[in-house]
């Protein structure tokens, strides 16, 4: 039996059913995923996935106790059968809205990370200079580990930038340190890392010229942008934007 005939039969079954049969649409999505040449047959796979999400969540509202479990993995599998990350991002957004409208806020919160991941991927795919910076901001607030990694990278860059120059003529800063360690280099690192937390009040970085001032301003703006971006993303989640 030809693929087109199978899809025609499936669409006929879906349209003949009272309400939309989610399992029929899941079958259609699977067929189109395995046969990419048919992904827009009759209608786009994107629309098929939206119909599946909607019908799947709605149909479970009518099920008896113990049979009304929503399988998030199944929803996510359906979404990833759409190959475009921009489309995946919109489908996850649609799924989140649908779950929330059905009073499944906790389930919606569980796939917020997937929305962030697809947003990151679609931003990278735009291949613009500004989009790469946006992608860094997105991934830096993705989860606890990416936030920690971002802060460690920024701390390391700060440590490198504030090291004494090999030659006096190239020095940009003079320093006043608190003593935390007898090891000079480790003490410098501890001062730099402790300063933002208020543990190194006597530590001072004194710019020696205009270039040093500009570099410090850029460094502080970078910290502010990443921290503000993280707080913004968390605020969005709290108020469920």
pLDDT in tens, 183-223: 877 888 788 778 777 777 788 877 778 887 888 788 778 77
Residue 191, CA distances (Å) to 18, 49, 94, 214 in order: 69, 54, 47, 21
SS3 letters across 26-70 = HHHHHHHHHCHHHCCCCCCHHHHHHHHHHHHHHHHCCCCCCCCCC
Q: What mean pLDDT do residues 116-126 have? A: 86
pLDDT at 241: 46
Helical packing angle, 144-161 and 129-140, nearest 10°: 110
Token pair 């993280």 in the structure block, residue = 230
**Residues in the chain, total:** 241
Contact partners, residue 55, CB within 8 Å, separation at least 6? 19, 20, 21, 22, 25
How far is it, in rounded angstroms, from Cα 41 to Cα 64? 35
Q: Would strands 204-207 and 173-176 be described as parallel, antiparallel, or unpaired?
A: antiparallel
Look at residues 139, 49, 158, 141 and name the one whose alpha carbon lies nearest to residue 94.
49
pLDDT in tens, 73-109: 999 999 999 999 999 999 999 999 999 988 888 898 8
How far is it, in rounded angstroms, from Cα 241 to Cα 239? 6
pLDDT in tens, 134-149: 777 777 766 777 777 7
Q: Is 176 helix (H, G, I), strand (E, B) or coil?
A: strand
Tell me the domains of the chain and their CATH numbers.
Answer: 3-133 (1.25.40), 141-238 (no CATH)
Contact 203, 194 (CB under 8 A): yes
Look at residues 42, 23, 22 and name the one whose alpha carbon lies nearest to residue 32.
42
pLDDT at 238: 47
Contact partners, residue 176, CB within 8 Å, separation at least 6? 202, 203, 204, 206
């Amino acid at each position: 039996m030809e693929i087109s005939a199978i899809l025609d039969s499936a669409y006929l079954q879906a349209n003949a059913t009272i309400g939309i049969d989610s399992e029929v649409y899941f079958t259609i999505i699977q067929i189109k995923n395995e046969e990419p040449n048919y992904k827009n047959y009759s209608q786009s796979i994107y629309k098929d996935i939206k119909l599946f999400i909607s019908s799947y969540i709605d149909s479970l509202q009518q099920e008896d106790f113990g049979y009304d479990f929503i399988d998030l993995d199944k929803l996510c599998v359906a979404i990833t059968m759409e190959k475009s990350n921009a489309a995946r991002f919109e489908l996850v957004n649609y799924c989140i809205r649908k779950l929330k409208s059905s009073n499944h806020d906790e389930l919606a919160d569980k796939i917020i990370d997937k929305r962030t991941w697809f947003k990151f991927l679609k931003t990278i795919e735009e291949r613009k200079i500004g989009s790469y910076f946006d992608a860094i901001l997105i991934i830096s607030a993705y989860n606890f580990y990416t936030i920690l990694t971002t802060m460690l990278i920024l701390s390391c860059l700060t440590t490198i930038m504030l090291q004494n120059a090999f030659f006096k003529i190239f020095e940009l800063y003079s320093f006043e340190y608190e003593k935390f360690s007898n090891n000079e280099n480790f003490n410098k690192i501890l001062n730099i890392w402790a300063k933002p937390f208020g543990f190194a009040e006597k530590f001072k970085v004194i710019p020696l010229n205009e270039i040093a001032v500009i570099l410090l301003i850029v460094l502080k703006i970078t910290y502010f942008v990443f921290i503000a971006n993280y707080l913004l993303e968390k605020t969005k989640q709290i108020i469920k934007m």
